[in-house]
Amino acid sequence: MDAALQELRQRIIEAHAARSPLRLRGAGTKDFYGERLDGATLDMRGYRGVVEYEPSELVLTARCGTPLSEVETLLQSKRQFLAFEPPGFGGDPTIGGVVAAGLSGPRRAHAGAVRDFVLGAVLLPAHGEPLHLGGKVIKNVAGFDIARLLCGSLGILGAILQVSIKVLPLPPAQATLRFELSLPQALESFNRWAGQPLPISATAWWRGQAWLRLSGAQAAVSAARARLGGELLEARVGDALWRSLREQTHEFFRAGTAVWRLSLPSTAPPLTEVATPLIEWGGALRWYASVQPAAHWRALAAAAGGTALHWRGGQAGQRFHPLSSAVLALHRRLKTRLDPHGIFNPGRLVAEL
């Protein structure tokens, strides 16, 4: 057995026996994310490297500690990419951290989220025997889909050792268009465009300007440009915009106040006058920088059919939108069954687990 794996396994078996919590950690680019950090740090970066990549299979398998930059450089060399555009928040996350956090970038509404691309995973649970879940093929319905359950689990079910991810060919052509639109106009336009056969790969709105990215065959991008109008941005400018949204280096995120992340039906009307949002995902993701209390955002989001997450900054307090009692009960039973002594990232995803 690989020495790095052997060490991880040993630490986990000991922690389980001693009932002492572990804090699983990759590059730490998302330490800010989640309810709380607790336990002795278990650094996952030692177990790294791309295990298998065959471009014609559209699948890449890598160990958890592999830096995202290494994965993306390798894919780029074969003109492929991770279509869910995982954010690194300015750093270089590990691929295990990308999956554990389950956060996706600007393409999410059109291409899908991390969980839509994860085909399989190796999980190291509390008993220390690695579990091979899912697989390396696109169609696979053998066994419960625990590999996808791990996406966004923030490590509470065990250490993600390895992941197999579906990759896609880079689109041959790309263009970013800019429009002057009010917020209601932008929401209406984003939803209307999404209902038409257009190669849209991302949308955003902020302070009276809307941006739309087209990605696909040259002919499709050209035809869509002609149909939609708007101002064509220089490729460099367009790419920088989407990168700033993905990495959250955009000016919006420099506000000193708390940032709230609202996940809503894309057709929800503008919610409030108290703050101007940054809109992504065709209206389904709305960011607010605001001093309003948590109760304000939770109530607004819930009334619109969504949830509010306290993203960063501001006062301490519960980060995630509360779960319904029935769903919380399922979380509790899953956690108890898979991590009976609660050693993995306690309280990180759900405060009481």
Q: In whole angstroms, what is the distance from residue 27 CA to residue 248 CA?
A: 17
Cα dihedral 93/176/275/302 (nearest 10): -70
Between residues 30 and 45, which has the closer beta carbon with respect to another protein?
A: 30
Please report whether residue 28 would count as binding another protein according to CB under 8 A. Answer: no
Please report whether residue 55 would count as binding another protein according to CB under 8 A. Answer: yes
Between residues 183 and 285, which has the closer beta carbon with respect to another protein?
A: 285
Stretch that binds another protein, among 1-9, 11-19, 141-149, 234-242 (CB under 8 A): 141-149
Please report whether residue 270 would count as binding another protein according to CB under 8 A. Answer: no
Identify the residue among 95, 214, 289, 309 touching another protein (CB under 8 A): 309
Between residues 67 and 98, which has the closer beta carbon with respect to another protein?
A: 98
Between residues 208 and 305, which has the closer beta carbon with respect to another protein?
A: 305
Identify the residue among 87, 97, 102, 105 touching another protein (CB under 8 A): 102
Q: In whole angstroms, what is the distance from residue 76 CA to residue 89 CA?
A: 20
Count Cβ atoms within 10 A of the Cβ of residue 34 and give its class: 0-12 exposed, 13-18 middle, 19 or more buried. buried
Question: How far apart are CB 100 and another protein at their closest, in Å?
Answer: 12
Stretch that binds another protein, among 16-24, 84-92, 131-139, 245-253 (CB under 8 A): 131-139
- Contact at 8 Å (CB) between 72 and 55? no
Query: Phi, psi (5° rounding) for residue 324?
Result: -65, 160
* Beta-carbon count within 10 A of 82 CB: 23
Count Cβ atoms within 10 A of the Cβ of residue 227 and give its class: 0-12 exposed, 13-18 middle, 19 or more buried. exposed
Please report whether residue 222 would count as binding another protein according to CB under 8 A. Answer: yes
Binding mask 190-219 for another protein (x = CB under 8 A): -xx-xxxxxx----------------xxxx
Between residues 232 and 334, which has the closer beta carbon with respect to another protein?
A: 334
- Contact at 8 Å (CB) between 136 and 120? yes
